[in-house]
Amino acid sequence: MDTTKVHNFSAGPGVLPQEVLQQASEACLNFDKLNLSLLEISHRSKNFEAVMEEAMTLAKELLNLDDSYKVMFLGGGASMQFAMVPYNLLRDGGTAGYVNTGVWASKAIKEAKLIGNTQVVASSEDKKFTYIPKNFGIPTTLDYLHITSNNTIYGTQIKKFPTAATLVCDMSSDIFSRKVDGKKFGLIYAGAQKNMGPAGATMIAVKESLLGKVNRPMLSMLDYRLHIKNGSMYNTPPVFPIYVSMLTLRWLKNNGGVEWIEKINQQKADTLYTEIDRNSLFNGTTAKEDRSNMNVTFVMTKPELEPEFDKLWKAANISGLRGHRDVGGYRASLYNALTLNSVQVLVDVMKEFESKFAG
């Protein structure tokens, strides 16, 4: 068992590639051989403008987007997008549709209701968000349909996206983890802190033709068109998170892109779910067909043994395994930069635990 490396299963901020962390740390001391820190230079310098341009270009490429889409990197986190999406897309007298699959979807619904007519077209709240609603009706009159692709807290993931005239998706916890045809979406947004970079930046990709359809006076900081016009630099952007996101997207592309990481992510998820299903001391918490490849949630069949299990995984240098307070138990987040070796260490601990305490 590897007892030197910390195996980071944190749900977010999550694990990042070691080479990205190394490059980012060097840039904090001397960026682009300027003998200045990345944290000190002007965001309007040519050096940082090149970073922003590369980050936006890589995001478009990895999401398979064409030039009808514009990409932004903004502050405020994905939670800011809960308000910005309806503010920019929900027309006076129009209706926004939402699928409620967990805490973050519920928060997005709350914000949208403050801006205009909002309809929950499907929900899994009746079973504590342990499944993904399917085969629900989608009104053709909606200004947009909002979904959350992966539910970090509950461990569910949409495997087949619904079809809507304008589909908006919060991909915060599984963006760039699997192949997605971004052109099926009108707008995609994602906080950086799961598969891209540190907390503090959010990527938004929007089909530009959707904008400018609302009549409300637009507050400058909430207007996508203004941010697009200014290259995500209407105000000072979150420089460091954007730089690390660019490095991570570059790392992903150089290693084979989304197709490459999707295969690894599937292998990681299969390895852990197979052990959960085999092991007599653990149960998964979600419908099997909706299991997330990013956030694996499970509980113990004998909860009184949790302190003993905690001792074992902590001794194996595993970090961030406790479940969210709303679910309890355990949650292993398998973001892109987590290695298969780390997953195997966790599986070995689970097997050792069963050999000691089952019976």
Residue 2 resides in a domain: no
Overall residue count recorded for the chain in this entry: 359
Domain boundary among 254, 286, 319: 254
70, 143, 170, 313: which one is catalytic? 170
104, 143, 268, 313: which one is catalytic? 104
User: Could you give the CA distance from residue 249 to residue 244 in angstroms, rounded to a whole number?
Assistant: 9
Q: Are 210 and 225 in contact (CB under 8 A)?
A: no
Same domain for 155 and 61: yes
pLDDT in tens, 17-50: 999 999 999 999 999 999 999 999 999 999 999 9
**251 a catalytic residue:** no
**CA nearest to 202, candidates 175, 183, 234, 167:** 175
Same domain for 163 and 80: yes
**348 a catalytic residue:** no
pLDDT in tens, 315-358: 999 999 999 888 899 999 999 999 999 999 999 999 999 999 98
Cβ neighbourhood burial of 241 (10 Å; 0-12, 13-18, 19+):
buried
Block residue for tokens 């007892």: 3
pLDDT in tens, 94-121: 999 999 999 999 999 999 999 999 999 9
- Residue 141: Cβ within 10 Å count: 10
Q: Are 219 and 84 in contact (CB under 8 A)?
A: no
Same domain for 169 and 138: yes
Same domain for 47 and 107: yes
Domain that holds residue 123: 18-254
70, 143, 174, 194: which one is catalytic? 194
Same domain for 163 and 31: yes
Q: How large is the angle between the packed helices 340-357 and 306-315, nearest 10 degrees? A: 140
CATH code: domain of residue 351: 3.90.1150.10
**260 a catalytic residue:** no
Same domain for 250 and 261: no
**CA nearest to 131, candidates 292, 287, 326:** 287
pTM for this entry: 0.96
Residue 11 resides in a domain: no
